[in-house]
């Protein structure tokens, strides 16, 4: 018997996806603030302290505040929003991806009840899923792993939805099998994966190779999800393009410049 609400869903779109959640009367879905796209008129939304799971039942106010405060360490909001079907028959609410990429549906019951993911990957989940923090036990992974010491742990037995950039690939690592990757390309992993950081090699490769100083190393057994376009990489490219564009507006990007162009056209 599942503790989490059993929700139905459908994912729409290709590069800019959104997920539509169908709720039976009384069912609830939990999401990050600002993720909602549209909802039926019978859906009632509320703001809750923490993750909205039933694991807080019986706890005092201070315990709930401390539990919710842990989310702030992951860079997320202190509050989350719940969407409940207060009508009769199935009603829908949808949640949109914040940038180009894919939405990944995961039934936590298929992964021994928990998934560890990067801090900004969580989109929404069935009520009953707990969103906790996962501390990196190794100093190297914490300092140079791209996500700091803290990632998110999703715990429960229902559906959760993650979002990541570009194309997503799921890989299964056998016991002892190792894969190396850019630290920003990791989306999620099962609890059995050993996560660490390794120096890329010699100093010349580290400085001039363009791949940074460190790799993330993942060792099986377990499953991992990787993204081809981390948001940090996308943001850096956009910032760089913006700087080049602003330079052209000042006449710095032309082959001849403003003076050369005036002379060519017979100006003063």
Contact assessment for residue 135 and residue 147, using Cβ atoms and an 8 Å cutoff? no
Contact assessment for residue 118 and residue 151, using Cβ atoms and an 8 Å cutoff? yes
Query: Tokens standing for 130?
Result: 């707990």
Contact assessment for residue 175 and residue 219, using Cβ atoms and an 8 Å cutoff? no
Q: How far apart are CA 9 and CA 98, in angstroms?
A: 18
> Does the pLDDT value for residue 226 go beyond 80?
yes
Tell me, what's the pLDDT at 204?
57
- Report the mean per-residue pLDDT for the chain: 79
Supply φ then ψ for residue 189, to 5 degrees: -155, 155
**Residue 184 banded pLDDT, cuts 50, 70, 90:** confident
Q: Which is nearest to 42 in space by CA: 30, 65, 54, 24?
A: 24
- Angle CA 5–133–237, to nearest 5: 100
Maximum CA extent, the chain: 84
- Angle CA 40–46–49, to nearest 5: 150
> Does the pLDDT value for residue 142 go beyond 70?
no
Least confident residue range of 5-9, 79-83, 103-107: 79-83
Q: How far apart are CA 211 and CA 96, in angstroms?
A: 31
Query: Tokens standing for 87?
Result: 């009508």
Query: For the chain, which domains are there?
Result: 8-229 (3.60.160.10)
Task: Dump the DSSP string for 146-166.
Answer: SSTTEEEEEESSSEEEEEEES
When pLDDT is averaged across residues 199-218 and rounded to a whole number, the result is 64
Highest mean predicted confidence (pLDDT) among 32-46, 49-63, 140-154, 229-243:
32-46
Task: Dump the DSSP string for 34-98.
Answer: T-EEEE-TTEEEEEEETT--GGGTT--HHHHHHHHHHHHHTT--SEEEEEEE-SSS-EEEEEE-S
Contact assessment for residue 197 and residue 140, using Cβ atoms and an 8 Å cutoff? yes
Tell me, what's the pLDDT at 32?
83
38-87 pLDDT, tens digit per residue, is 999 999 999 887 666 766 555 555 666 665 566 666 566 677 899 999 99
Q: Token pair 């190393």 is at which residue?
A: 217
pTM: 0.78
**Residue 261 banded pLDDT, cuts 50, 70, 90:** very low
Tell me, what's the pLDDT at 68?
58
49 vs 93, more confident: 93
Supply φ then ψ for residue 196, to 5 degrees: -150, 175
When pLDDT is averaged across residues 132-152 and rounded to a whole number, the result is 60
Which element (helix H / strand E) includes 142? helix 139-144
Tell me, what's the pLDDT at 54?
62
Q: How far apart are CA 101 and CA 56, in angstroms?
A: 33
- Angle CA 146–149–153, to nearest 5: 95
Percent over 70 (pLDDT), the chain: 66
């Amino acid at each position: 018997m599942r503790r989490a609400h059993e929700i139905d869903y459908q994912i729409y779109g290709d590069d800019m996806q959104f997920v539509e959640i169908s709720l039976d009367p009384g069912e609830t879905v939990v999401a990050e603030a600002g993720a909602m796209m549209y909802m039926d008129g019978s859906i009632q939304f509320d703001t809750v302290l923490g993750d909205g799971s039933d694991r807080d039942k019986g706890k005092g106010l201070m315990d709930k505040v401390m539990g919710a405060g842990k989310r702030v360490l992951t860079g997320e909001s202190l509050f989350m929003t719940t969407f409940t079907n207060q009508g009769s028959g199935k009603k829908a609410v949808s949640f949109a991806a914040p940038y180009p990429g894919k939405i990944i549906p995961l039934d936590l019951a298929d992964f021994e009840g928990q998934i560890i993911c990067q801090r900004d990957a969580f989109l929404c989940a069935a009520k009953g899923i707990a969103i906790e923090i996962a501390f990196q036990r190794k100093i190297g992974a914490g300092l140079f792993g791209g996500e700091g010491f803290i990632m998110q742990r999703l715990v429960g037995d229902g559906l959760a939805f993650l979002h990541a950039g570009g194309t997503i690939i799921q890989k299964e690592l056998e016991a002892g099998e190792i894969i190396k990757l850019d630290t920003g390309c990791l989306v999620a992993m099962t609890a059995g994966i050993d996560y660490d950081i390794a120096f890329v090699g010699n100093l010349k490769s580290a400085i001039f190779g363009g791949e940074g100083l460190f790799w993330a190393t993942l060792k099986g057994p377990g499953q991992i999800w990787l993204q081809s376009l981390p948001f940090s990489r996308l943001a850096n490219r956009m910032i760089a393009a913006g700087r080049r564009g602003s330079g052209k507006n000042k006449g710095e990007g032309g082959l001849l410049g403003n003076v050369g162009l005036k002379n060519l056209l017979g100006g003063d």
